[in-house]
Structure 1
Amino acid sequence: MSMLTPPGMGGKYRVTGTTFPRMHRPSNRRRIVLSAVAGVIVLGVVGVGTAQLAGAFDGNGSGRDTAGHCPSSAVGTKAADATSARLPKPSAVTVNVYNATDRAGLAKTTADELKKRGFSIGKVGNAPDAYNNKLKGTAILLGGPKATSALKVLGTELAAGSLKTDPSRASASNVDLIIGSAFGTLDPLQNAGHALTVLQQPAPTPSGKTCRPSGRT
């Protein structure tokens, strides 16, 4: 019996020989696989965090500011201000008032009312032959290609009037109001004032991007 055999143990449990059995450590393959998976997860988390941080500082990422709040409608406000700046004031619009009906004095009374509302008045009288006693509608607002803004401002005084462009006219501020047989009076002052306000301050145009609230107060 060998000296390494514990007392009372023999037979198939007997240890013989002078060489100790070699004890191998478990394979490292499992530990390597787990380490690789953990490394991939860490890199993924770091990548997502970096992308979010970059988006917080650029102007095209999430549509929020660095505090996580949706931006104000500054762009829409600037657009409205630009539109208002392009529109002339009533005093900068010269209106020639022509009567295409057989009702005497209609051009004069209309011109006087437009003057009270701030417009500059040019010529007042009967309509040219092309329109005189031939205009069945309410009125025609006539101006050159550059007078689009002036016509829009004048149009706030008469919602039923129709706009017409004369390519031969070069002025941007001189326009005609030709009164037709269906004309009664200018729109009420309150309605005209509201229409002018809406014209000067149009609703902001959506940018096409949706900003979602961050859920914070």
Structure 2
Amino acid sequence: MGYVRTAGMSTAARRSRRRAALVITAVLVALLVALLVAMAYVRGWVGSEDEGSDDATTATATQAPGPDPADVVVNIFNATDRAGLAGRASEGVGALDFTVDGVGNSSEAIEGAGRIVHGPTGLEGAELLAESLPQDVELVQDEREDETLDLVLGNAWEDLPTPEGDGEGDAEGDG
């Protein structure tokens, strides 16, 4: 009976030592992984690129608010069968303080409200114009080298609200 008892204690002791060795090994591996992740974060290999670019974007956005509407030059083209649409749109865009350079007709057919065509350097102006319009327009980039924009009016285009100048004209006529 003593033989079985001694063998049982020996087995229990071995299991205990194995368990302790496994726990210590697992803790050391976890510490090593944590150390490697911390080093990768400090060196910029993990995590810091995304956070840094957000901070840089925020800092850039606060430093440079974007172009002034008066600095954005827009050409307006009518791609519909409705006469005078580009002329009325040029008055509305001008009332939004954008600089209208030219007005004309376009031979392309546009299904939506319109399209703003811009070059790589005119993206900020195109986004500003799109945000200023009450309708959703599509932004399309082409290969032009200047910052001018082309606003091509489509079949779903609705006239912009009239400038407040109409009411002032009535007041001048009365006074």
Q: Same fold (TM over 0.5)?
A: yes
RMSD in angstroms over aligned alpha carbons?
A: 3.9
Task: Measure, in 2, the Cα distance between the counterparts of 1:135 and 1:53.
Answer: 62
Q: 2:126 aligns with which of 148, 151, 159?
A: 151
The amino acid across from 2:139 in the alignment is: L
Q: Secondary structure at the match of 1:170?
A: coil
Q: CA deviation at 1:140?
A: 1.9
In structure 2, relative to structure 1, the CA distance for the partners of 1:94 and 1:54 (3 Å cut) is same
Alignment correspondent of 1:127: 104
> Does the 8 A contact of 2:115 with 2:153 survive in 1?
yes
Alignment of 1:8-23 (within 5 A): none
In structure 2, relative to structure 1, the CA distance for the partners of 1:180 and 1:46 (3 Å cut) is same
Counterpart check, 1:161 vs 2:137? yes
Greater per-residue helix proportion: 2
Question: Which ranges in structure 2 are unaligned for 5 or more consecutive residues?
Answer: 39-46, 162-175
Counterpart check, 1:94 vs 2:72? yes
Task: Measure, in 2, the Cα distance between the counterparts of 1:46 and 1:136.
Answer: 69
Alignment of 1:1-217 (within 5 A): 26=3, 29-59=7-37, 78-83=52-57, 85=60, 89-91=66-68, 94-100=72-78, 101-103=83-85, 104-113=87-96, 115=97, 121=99, 123=101, 125-130=102-107, 137-145=112-120, 147-158=122-133, 159-167=135-143, 169-171=144-146, 173-180=147-154, 182-185=157-160
Question: Which ranges in structure 1 are unaligned for 5 or more consecutive residues?
Answer: 1-24, 61-72, 187-217
Task: Measure, in 2, the Cα distance between the counterparts of 1:41 and 1:129.
Answer: 81
Larger radius of gyration: 1
TM-score, normalised by the number of residues in structure 1: 0.47
